[in-house]
A and B are shown apart, each in its own frame.
Chain A
Amino acid sequence: DAGVIQSPRHEVTEMGQEVTLRCKPISGHDYLFWYRQTMMRGLELLIYFNNNVPIDDSGMPEDRFSAKMPNASFSTLKIQPSEPRDSAVYFCASSLALGWGGTSSNEQFFGPGTRLTVL
C-alpha cells in the first residue's frame, strides 16, 4: 500500500491568502485525522472523521479553519484567510477501527506532512 499521501509537501503563502491541504488516507481505513505540529505546542489534533463524517472538531483553532471529507479517499483542510501564526507542519493520519482486519491496536499511520509557511 502507498501509505497516507499528502499534498503539497511544502507551501509558502502570504498572509490573507487561502490555503488548501490535501490528504488521501490508506485504502480501507475508516478514520482520518488532521494534526498540526509546532515547536511551542507540539502535536495537536485538529479534527477527525469516521466514515467521512466529522466526529470531533474541538481542536480546530478558529473559524478560519475548515475540513471536509467528501469521500473515503480524500480530505481537505482549508485555512482562509491564513495568518503567520498558522505556520506549522500539518499531518494527516488514518487508522482502521479497533479489532477490524486483525488489528490489535488502533494504530494511526501518518502521512509525510505539509510544511506551511505564512509570510
Chain B
Amino acid sequence: QKEVEQNSGPLSVPEGAIASLNCTYSDRVSQSFFWYRQYSGKSPELIMSIYSNGDKEDGRFTAQLNKASQYVSLLIRDSQPSDSATYLCAVNRGWGAQKLVFGQGTRLTINP
C-alpha cells in the first residue's frame, strides 16, 4: 500500500460544477495535510493546508479532513477552466515535521 494514495484521474468536470478530489494516507501519526496544484510544465504551489478534523474553507476551495478514516479531500466550487491542473495531496508525519510524502496526483480538467 502506498503511503499516500490518490485517484490519478483524469477527472473531468463541467464549468461551474463542484470538483471533488480525494486522498487517503496510511500512517496514522500523520498530522499535517496539504493540497498542491501543479499546472502542466510548472512547479507545485500550495493552495490549502489542514491540520484538524473537519472542514477548512478558503474562497472556492474547501479541504476536509477525517483522521479516523485517514482521508482528506479537496472541493472546488464553481469550477473554472483555470482550475484545470494536477492536484497533489501531501502528508507529513508529525507537527513540525518537514518531510512531505506526495500522492501521485489527480489530473483535473474543467470543461467550458
Contacts and interface: CB of A to CB of B under 8 A. Distances in A.
Binding partners A and B: yes
Interface of A: 31, 33, 42-45, 48, 50, 55-56, 91, 95, 97-99, 104-113
B53 to A, nearest CB: 17
Contact of B98 (A50, A110, A111, A113): A50
Nearest to A104: B49
Given A42-B105, A43-B88, A106 B43 contact: no
Given A42-B103, A43-B88, A106 B98 contact: yes
Q: Is chain A's binding surface mostly helix, strand, loop or mixed?
A: strand
23 contacts: A33-B98, A42-B103, A42-B104, A43-B105, A45-B99, A45-B101, A48-B98, A55-B98, A91-B43, A97-B96, A97-B98, A99-B96, A104-B49, A105-B32, A105-B46, A105-B49, A107-B34, A107-B49, A108-B100, A109-B46, A110-B43, A112-B43, A113-B43
B9 to A, nearest CB: 13
Contacts of A56: 99
Contacts of B98: 31, 33, 48, 50, 55, 95, 97, 106
Contacts of B32: 105-106
Interface in B13-69: 32, 34, 42-46, 49, 51
Contacts of A99: 96
Counting chain A CB atoms within 10 Å of each CB, which of B46, B49, B100 scores highest? B100
The 9 nearest A-B residue pairs measured at CB: A110-B43, A105-B49, A43-B102, A42-B104, A98-B96, A107-B46, A110-B44, A31-B98, A113-B43
B63 to A, nearest CB: 12
A106 B88 contact: no
